[in-house]
Amino acid sequence: MAMQKQVTLTVNGRRQEIGLPAHRTLLEVLRDLGYVEVKCGCEKGDCGACAVLVDGEAVNACVTLAWQADGTAVTTVRGLAKPSEEHPLHTAFIQTGAVQCGNCIPGMIIAAKALLDEHPDPTDEEIRRGLSGNLCRCTGYVQIFAAVRSAAAALRGEGGTP
């Protein structure tokens, strides 16, 4: 019988108390709780599709055991937005055409959020490094870089039109 752990997560502002086997990943738990915006890609930490913020730090949920996030605030791409408005990253990704198939985008936006929290006016090299753990097979990254630059400008109050 698998050892059970009691885990408390605050996901997108909503407190969740869950009993689960110690081997369950944060990705599995989040998806079981209905957070299907957290995508399942490689399941080995290479693609970044499952990225979430754990206490503000981007992590790959597929290689993070749920109990490791016990007592933390977890933010998914959906949790970045306010109920009445999109986050500037959401808007920028749509306006620049950075959203294609959509599989990588939740993780890409989470990585971009973590990057912009640390570097509000990132250089292309900082964007490259900040998104390096996220793979996209559709866009070629040009639109994604444009989206990050646009969102950065918007967050700095400089308009940020693509």
Q: How confident is the model at residue 139 (pLDDT cuts 50, 70, 90)?
A: confident
Residues of the chain with pLDDT > 90, as a percent, come to 88
Residue 1: predicted pLDDT: 55
Residues 98 and 141: beta-carbon distance below 8 Å? no
Give percent of the chain with pLDDT exceeding 70.
97
At residue 151 the predicted structure's pLDDT band, cuts being 50, 70 and 90, is very high
Mean pLDDT of 68-85: 95
Domains detected in the chain: 4-79 (3.10.20.30), 88-155 (1.10.150.120)
- 47 token code pair: 């693609």
pLDDT in tens, 7-23: 999 999 999 999 999 99
CB 49 within 8 A of CB 41: yes
Residue pLDDT, tens place only, 87-110: 999 999 999 999 989 899 999 999
Residue 101 tokens read as 């198939």
Residue type, 100: Q
pLDDT score, position 118: 97
User: Rounded CA gap, 83 and 78, in Å?
Assistant: 10
Q: Cβ(59)–Cβ(110) under 8 Å? A: no
